[in-house]
Chain A
């Protein structure tokens, strides 16, 4: 069974601060996705990383896939209240190509 561990589980910061969220596994994934979920809504895909060592930027968000394709990180620069939400990582892999989700990091950015 492939598992994804996300840390921290909860994060409360002030507007303007930087933060990093981690997603770790002992398994290798073909690709890894990051989603953001807001209350009352389903998750929305932010990015997919495929190649080991890959770095993708989406405005103030920087995503990195580990060299061994077992871990990933999400870094947010100068966080804003609009960044508040549940951040989920999800790995695609295994013989049956199921998408395995981490339990998420609940981020609160206070104005």
Chain B
């Protein structure tokens, strides 16, 4: 079945880096854009980043622009989120998500279970 599985979370000191992974299965990986969304303790759900089907187009939330980088590996059906210059307010559960169709603006109806990132000061 269609599945997304995140990994790579952990506890990290402020200013350090971390790479999150999202393993995709059960669908044609090349056909879909993939998002990262986070759930923070205080702010709720926050969209973080998206990558296009061919990996050439990315968009980021203003809060992470210049610090986070999204990429994908077609040989492994994986999407990555590189987190750099981490701040305490980046503490969250990070989810990868896929839209219901191959359109950019479609609803996110496939979600992973999330991976927790805790940034300490």
Q: Do A and B bind each other?
A: no
Which A positions have Cβ atoms within 8 angstroms of B? none
